[in-house]
Structure 1
Amino acid sequence: MSATRADPLPPLRHDRVKGVAMRLAAITGFAVMAATIKLAYAHGASTPETVFYRCLFGLPPLFGWIAWCRDWGVWRTRRPMAHVLRGGLGLASMTMGFTALGLLPLAEASTISFVAPLFALALSAPILAERVGARSWIAVAVGFTGVIIVMRPGGTLPLDGTMVALGAAFGVACVTVALRSISRTESTRTIVFWFTIFCTIASCALMPWFGQAHDGFAWALLVLIGLSGGIGQLFLTASLRYAPISALAPIDYLQLVYAVLFGWLLFGDQPAWTTSAGAALIIVSVLSTMGRRPVKETPPSSLEA
């Protein structure tokens, strides 16, 4: 164990069934959050509000998790500015991701978001000096071809929505690269704690200009955004302590199934065949990179920025 760590990190435990179950719960939470965000937009909520209440109402599950683990020193850190950088990147990508959900159908917004690992792979070469082979670069090219198919240049999808979704995916990739550095000295709970605190405070600063009165149903949606997103993030983090990433990552694509289902049930959306074709290319390209062994270890990260 490195002597530079702020707190001892708990050992990994091997229970693949439990890890998979937790990952399924996490993906369900994120899918509910995405669908609820679109419903909240339809009932008058703004993007700054959805971001703020996602963070605010994500605090109770986080504090409950900390109490359950009895990790009372979770707030201790030796790298406060690293948390500020991670928080700024995460808040920016979260804001873009939530905005994309308001501009695009659920299936298309979710599909484009899955290009984030390919962005991270491309960034790992110049920033982290990781060796990226020809096979990985081919996978990146195939994945971005899938994105172009989903975007359907000249089609019906709004260009601003697709560009914002791509920006959100790039932001998630930047967060992934930042996490590879910060996780060398900080525990996962410390990273999640300071990210949630940072985003809550930063997004709260916008409420005097963007906060509005809502009816009871809209408030229920805003609360559900925070609870589902917060619980999803905690389950995802916990899953990585029981099963390897290679066993869990394919489960993430269940979110596409949820997106199509919720989009059809709640909004009457029917994805075009190009969305399915592009999603298939993106999924294949990302999964093909999972056997790659980077020079530097990649720590657990979150589907959320």
Structure 2
Amino acid sequence: MRPGLAIALKLVSVTLFVGMQAIVKAASEVVPAGQAVFFRSFFAIPVILVWLAATGHLRTGLKTAYPVGHAWRGTVGSMAMGLMFAGLAYLPLAEVQAINYAAPLLVVVFAALFLGERLRWFRITAVAMGLTGVLIVLSGRLTMLDEGEAGARAALGAMLVLGSATCAALAQIQIRRMVSSGETISSVVFWFSVTASVLSLVSAPFFPWTYPGVGMTTLLVVAGLIGGVGQICLTSAYRYGDASLVAPIDYASIILAVAIGYVVFAELPTPRMYAGVALVVAAGGLIIWRERKLGIERGRARRGMTPPG
């Protein structure tokens, strides 16, 4: 374990992902979400292939025993990405981040429903607190429905991003299933990019693609490249550090999103958003703290067991 490197890699990944979302948001006025998904996924593939070759995982990254599982994970993951990109056109960058924080909380709920994981009262309370925070953020937009077209657009954006968080949580459940069955993370990363690239083409007849000009096209290619690098940094971070150490760094994204939103898009977060985010971060921190404590207790128990034989 190399905790310092793990933290640095996670910070880099968070920064890259928020930067990628900012590019997609800037392009959202002229580029439909499906087209943005294509750029994000297709141009990440070369980066991922180079990484797999450099780490000696090219064969395992391309080989899979679960094509149907990858198809399901790719479909749900593509929906999550497309819905989030669509929501970026309607909401401030920081609010998109705040609502997306529902995803890890929903993973806890879905893990209990679909994987049979035990849900204790401590975790139930933390999840309820976090989802309350998300509802506080959402309520600021849903109450704008009677404010004309602008209010309706904001409410639509909130629903799109909430749908994205739900799909992202379902994708994480599918990843757990595949990894627990022996599938490698490298194959999950590679085949998701391939699947998302193909599925994004389906959107073209319904939401016609456009040519946004050389400058914006270049930025979208960059978004795909940095998305691939961000995915590699994220995967590597969990290789060098425990999840309980690395996971809390996700919440740095709200700071970056607020800063970029203010400087680039002149967006100012509302007090309601800050209140909701505070609850979500507190809930996530409690879950991570509890998991770390249980992990330490399990480790002590394992060390105290009588060796077999």
2:116 alignment partner, one of 120, 125, 129: 129
Stretches of structure 1 that go unaligned for 5 or more consecutive residues are 1-13, 295-305
Counterparts of 2:218 and 2:89 in 1: how far apart (Å)? 18
Write the letter of the residue equivalent to 2:124: W
How many Å separate the matches in 2 of 1:126 and 1:71? Answer: 33
Q: Give the equivalent residue in structure 1 for 2:13.
A: 26
**Cα deviations by residue, 1:99-149 (Å, 9 ceiling, x for unpaired):** 111111001110000111111111111211111111111112111211121
TM-score w.r.t. the length of structure 1 is 0.88
Q: Which residue of 1 is the match for residue 270 of structure 2? A: 272
The aligned residue for residue 15 of structure 1 is 2
Q: Partner of 1:7 in structure 2?
A: none
Conserved? CA contact 1:39–1:221, under 8 Å: no
Q: Map 1:31-70; keep pairs closer than 5 Å.
A: 31-42=18-29, 44-70=30-56
**Runs of 4 or more off by more than 3 Å in structure 1?**
205-209
Q: Which residue of 1 aligns with 2:197?
A: 200
Q: Any conservation in 2 of the 1:53–1:222 contact (CA below 8 Å)? A: yes
Whether 1:170 and 2:156 are equivalent positions in the alignment is: no
- Which amino acid in the other structure matches residue 240 of structure 1? Y
Note the 1:121-270 alignment, pairs <5 A.
121-151=108-138, 152=140, 153-155=142-144, 158-184=154-180, 185-207=182-204, 210-270=208-268
Matches within 5 A, 1:79-158: 79-151=66-138, 152=140, 153-155=142-144, 158=154
What letter is aligned with 2:185? T
Higher helix proportion (structure 1 or 2): 2
Structure whose CA Rg is larger: 2
Residue deviations 1:153-173, cap 9 Å, x none? Answer: 414682111111111111111
| Deviation at residue 208 of structure 1 after TM alignment | 5.9
Size of the aligned set, in residue pairs, is 280
State whether residues 45 and 218 of structure 1, in contact with CA within 8 Å, keep that contact through their aligned partners in structure 2.
no
Amino acid at match of 2:216: A
Please list every run of 5 or more consecutive structure 2 residues that lacks an aligned counterpart in the other structure: 145-150, 296-309
Aligned equivalents of 2:202, 2:163: Cα separation in 1: 23
RMSD: 1.5
Q: CA deviation at 1:70?
A: 2.4
The amino acid that maps onto 1:50 is A
**d(CA) in 1 for partners of 2:64, 2:46:** 21
Quick one: distance in 1 between partners of 2:156 and 2:218?
Answer: 29
Distance 2:130 2:211 in 1: 42
Distance 2:127 2:72 in 1: 26
The percentage of aligned residue pairs carrying the same residue is 31
Contact kept? 1:62, 1:234, Cα under 8 Å:
yes
**SS at 2:191 equivalent:** helix
**Code of the aligned partner of 2:23:** T
Q: Please report the TM-score for the alignment, with normalisation by the length of structure 2.
A: 0.87
CA contact (8 A) 1:61 1:227 kept: yes
Preserved contact between residue 90 and residue 154 of structure 2 (Cα < 8 Å): yes
